[in-house]
Structure 1
Amino acid sequence: MKTRRNVAGVQVTTGVPDSSLAARELNFLVRLAQAAASTPRPDELLELIIRETTSAIGTDVCSLYLLTGRELLLTATNGLNENMVGKVTMKVGEGITGWVAESRRPAVVPDVSQEPHWKWVPGLDEDRFHSMASVPIESGPRLVGVINVQSTERREFNSGDIDFLRAIAAQVAGILERSELQRRTEVQLAEIRLSHDIHERFTNLSLDGAGIHSILDAIGSLAGGRAALYSADGYRVRGAGESSDGMPQRIHLPAPASAIGRELRINAGRPPRPLDVIPVRAGAEMLGLLAVGVDEEKMDAEGRVRALEHGSAILALELAKERAAAEVERRLRGDLVEEVLAGGL
């Protein structure tokens, strides 16, 4: 005997699921698990899920919406206009898909034309599709998206259908979580490699005795803007040449140089241009200011950050070396003068 219960405000038919359908669903989940173990690309797995869900559950359409901010983006579909993938969005709470995302509850709609939550999307939806089932995709407490199935014939999806869709949604969530973890790992590795390469370049310049002018050229090249060295009171002291051409002779800071943290953006020069100013410190002692022009077209944000960090550190080392060398020279000259005077006496 079949009974009815409400799921998300719409009717769901419950009963004994068809054994052949259950076997087909089980086979599908086994194939999916095998594909997930052998296919490294998450987009291929998602396409497989969407493509085969329709046959496994016996529908004409399967669509995947993923949450981006407060909107659901059509990410994949089998049965609807694939040209709309990446273009169609639904706000959370909008349409049946948005309602499922907002309520975190499944929805079954035997006839979408009679459903108040239904929203027609031009270029995507078709009149021939009548029935729909939709479940949220969740990863723990976090909403990931929504998966929908649709059929041309009127169909009352039962609890077995909903359970199967939930199992598919769980697989999708796991694939996306692994994909995000892999993406973050790759980003972190890329940042580490970039930081290492920039550090190695500046270290080699210092060890080769290239000097501050060459270091400023390297900073400008890596940071995507001209670079110059200024005194703590804002007067340019180094950077004559191509990398600092057009840089102002003096920069005015809104606060004392000692109060600058890691980085400060100012406008300087005639006409005023944006500059990033970074303190050059040896411990607590302020040795100078590194200023680098801002060129949005050439700027690699991550590379610029690393170039400024390592560049200011190597400049501090070079200035400290120059200061130490000048102190040694001063002392030698003083000793020489004393010897000359002593000999003369």
Structure 2
Amino acid sequence: MRQVFWRNKCTLVRRFDKIKLHHLSRLYLNIRVREMKTHVIAVMIIAVFSESVYAESTLFIPDFSPDSVTTSLSAGVLNGKSRELVYDIDTGRKLSQLDWKIKNVAILQGDLSWDPYSFVTLNARGWTSLASGSGHLVDRDWMNSEQSGWTDRSIHPDTSVNHANEYDLNVKGWLLQGDNFKAGVTAGYQETRFSWTARGGSYSYDNGQYIGNFPPGKRVIGYSQRFEMPYIGLAGHYRINDFEGNVMFKYSDWVHAHDNDEHYMRKLTFREKTGSSRYYGASVNAGYYITNNAKIFAEFAYSKYEEGKGGTQIIDKTSGDSEYFGGDVAGIANNNYTVTAGLQYRF
């Protein structure tokens, strides 16, 4: 009996060990499967996250390809008028006004744009006179406070525009974009310069008491202006088939202006400086693509620098003496427009 019992016991133990081993094996397999699932899920999460990070990183990598760069060159004419004003230091009454005209001065204009992202455009542009051009000067004084009209006047048809130029650095952010249009905001910095020399001419002083002519070709007055400002604005772009149009509006409340007035015959220099005047500008161009990359276009641009007032410094070139008058004793203003036509190319 003992032997039989012992055999049965051993058999039961072996069966129990087999059952136990079977359960342990299944448990181990389940654990391994769970671990493999966990690893697969982790790998999938890492892959998705890596793809997302890569997509975001590529989104912020600037586009350095050639077709992100556009350049243009055009030629045209500049027209406009600048005003130089003098006011009474005590009453603010206008004492003098000089109107300097710009008449069909030939200019060359260049433009370089880069689109580092689909929603950003960086731009540098400018124009310059090709040579001295035609101008005109009328100089009027109001020396009698009881008289509304001018008392003194000189006219100088032989006035040349020595030079004129402008440069503009800006960035555009495209807030709205469609298949064939873009609209956004812009901000930039702009400087504009003008210079004239008036020669000869005629004069009428003291209400016509003294009338005469300056020697022909003799320098009478030289004048220059410089405007500098940051600005903000709006920009728009539209294309349909091979036709394309662009428009831009600019505004500034932070114009700083400088001028220099040389009265050669009197040997006096007047220097003025004004601040915080306003500027309004607009430009529109339209073009046609003659190839996939080249476009011919025409452009019109208008600028208005409202009168800014400030102090003036008077320098006597003979004695070297200098005197400064503060307040709003001097005024500087300009309005001008350009008409150009040229070729644009996208690389």
TM-score band (shorter)? under 0.3
TM-score calculated relative to the size of structure 2:
0.22
Ranked by relative contact order (alpha carbons within 8 Å, sequence separation 6 or more), the top structure is 2
* Structure number with bigger Rg: 2
